[in-house]
A = this chain, B = another copy of it.
Amino acid sequence: MKTLSPSERAEILPSLDGWSLVEDRDAIRKRFVFEDFNAAFGWMTRVALAAETMNHHPEWSNVYRSVDVTLSSHDARGLTRRDVELAQRMDQFASGITRDA
Contacts and interface: CB of A to CB of B under 8 A. Distances in A.
Nearest to A38: B52
Contacts of A48: 37, 41
Copies of this protein chain in the complex:
2
A88 interface: no
Interface residues of A, number: 16
B59 A62 contact: yes
Nearest to A60: B62
Interface string A27-41: 000000000011001
A63 interface: yes
11 contacts: A37-B51, A37-B57, A38-B52, A44-B44, A57-B63, A58-B62, A59-B61, A59-B62, A59-B63, A60-B62, A61-B62
Contacts of A41: 45, 48, 52
Contact of A52 (B37, B44, B45): B37
A93 interface: no
Given A38-B52, A41-B48, A61 B60 contact: yes
